[in-house]
A = this chain, B = another copy of it.
């Protein structure tokens, strides 16, 4: 079998959610956008629904439609991108709750789906999604008369607990929403860890549940084992891979494994990366190619049948650091070519 095995541990995912839930003084929802951070939104969301999650969040209405099919009619499904042109039918048919981001979206929603549930996303300084404070004060009374079910905002620097932006966004959010009798949400994973004053009525952890920073206590959720295609012995001076990028300084044993950047193993990780045989770290040599990675296995006494990239010895954040990015991108890049095994 040439495809690598990606195991997704739903038990660990549920434990991570329970741990974040225990730190959250209020209702704890779950963000499952980007196909459940690459792990499969339907299986992830069904597991969390069984744990008691009642409020889910996705990026776009199309993701919400898939999630509704997986979850049935009961859970609430919020859509971060709001009510965009062309979304009306999906929002109505799948009972989605758009998080309206602009006056344009409000006009569209109130005209096309009067009486249909909605939330409001407020910009508190990240300047990415949400109504600007000046706009909010101008239209607040009109919007509140339409009975939003949630007022939300998003923190730009929550993974840096000492960043002054956190307190500033909290101050702005309270200024925009204090005294309004509508449930509020500000905190994702990072915000939960900042403390209870950030929790309001609903928290919405994402990355922490999947085993990624900033939730350092997270249990690893994914294991990735890649089969070895062949091994070979190189003489000193022989090179490996595209562009002759790596040259053997000593006699070296090389294993070629069957996964590459087409499987989301980001090409940039190249020479800084290691993979594992049990607890033994083995350096990647040469360039990561589309379907293949070459590994120096000289330190092993046997020829391994597979090598591990993600698992006990190496998290998504470790791999991310090797590629100069963040764990989120490693997760969402995990490709479609894997043999995926979901365990409870």
The interface of chain A, by Cβ under 8 A from chain B, is 1-3, 33-35, 37-38, 59-63, 79-82, 84-87, 101-102, 104-105, 123, 125-129, 132, 156-157, 160, 163, 165, 227, 229-230, 232, 234, 238-244, 254, 256, 258, 261-262, 264, 266-268, 286, 289-292, 294, 305, 324-326, 328-329, 332-333, 336-337, 339
In the bound complex, CA of A129 to CA of B163 (Å):
49
Given A86-B1, A232-B132, A290-B34, the answer on whether A243 and B332 have CB atoms closer than 8 Å is no
A-B contact pairs, 6 of them (CB 8 A): A82-B229, A85-B227, A123-B232, A128-B240, A156-B239, A165-B239
Inter-chain contacts of A292 with B (CB < 8 A): 59, 128-129
In the bound complex, CA of A35 to CA of B264 (Å):
13
- Is B84's CB under 8 angstroms from A258's CB? yes
Closest 10 CB pairs of A and B: A2-B60, A34-B262, A1-B86, A59-B291, A262-B332, A2-B81, A102-B230, A127-B240, A261-B329, A101-B230
**A315 CB to closest chain B CB, in angstroms?**
18
- Is A239's CB under 8 angstroms from B127's CB? yes
- Is B258's CB under 8 angstroms from A2's CB? no
- Is A129's CB under 8 angstroms from B230's CB? yes
A128 partner, pick from B3, B86, B294, beta carbons under 8 A: B294
Given A128-B241, A337-B34, the answer on whether A332 and B102 have CB atoms closer than 8 Å is no
**A337 CB to closest chain B CB, in angstroms?**
7
Report the copy number of this chain in the oligomer: 2
- Is B337's CB under 8 angstroms from A128's CB? no
- Is A129's CB under 8 angstroms from B229's CB? yes
Inter-chain contacts of A239 with B (CB < 8 A): 125-127, 156, 165
In the bound complex, CA of A61 to CA of B3 (Å):
8
**A338 CB to closest chain B CB, in angstroms?**
10
Inter-chain contacts of A35 with B (CB < 8 A): 262, 336-337
- Is A230's CB under 8 angstroms from B290's CB? no
- Is A81's CB under 8 angstroms from B128's CB? no
A33 partner, pick from B37, B126, B291, beta carbons under 8 A: B291
**A242 CB to closest chain B CB, in angstroms?**
6
Chain B residue with Cβ nearest A285: B127
Inter-chain contacts of A2 with B (CB < 8 A): 59-62, 79, 81, 84, 87
Residue among A63, A127, A234 with max Cβ neighbours from chain B (10 Å): A127
In the bound complex, CA of A62 to CA of B335 (Å):
14
- Is B85's CB under 8 angstroms from A1's CB? yes
Inter-chain contacts of A258 with B (CB < 8 A): 59-60, 81, 84
In the bound complex, CA of A41 to CA of B266 (Å):
21
Inter-chain contacts of A266 with B (CB < 8 A): 266, 329
Given A1-B85, A258-B59, A261-B332, the answer on whether A127 and B160 have CB atoms closer than 8 Å is no
Beyond the given A34-B337, A63-B337, A85-B227, please list 18 additional residue pairs across the A-B interface where CB-CB is below 8 A: A1-B85, A2-B61, A33-B262, A59-B262, A60-B291, A101-B229, A123-B232, A127-B234, A127-B238, A127-B240, A127-B254, A128-B241, A128-B289, A129-B256, A157-B242, A267-B329, A268-B268, A290-B329
In the bound complex, CA of A244 to CA of B124 (Å):
12
**A266 CB to closest chain B CB, in angstroms?**
8
- Is B268's CB under 8 angstroms from A325's CB? yes
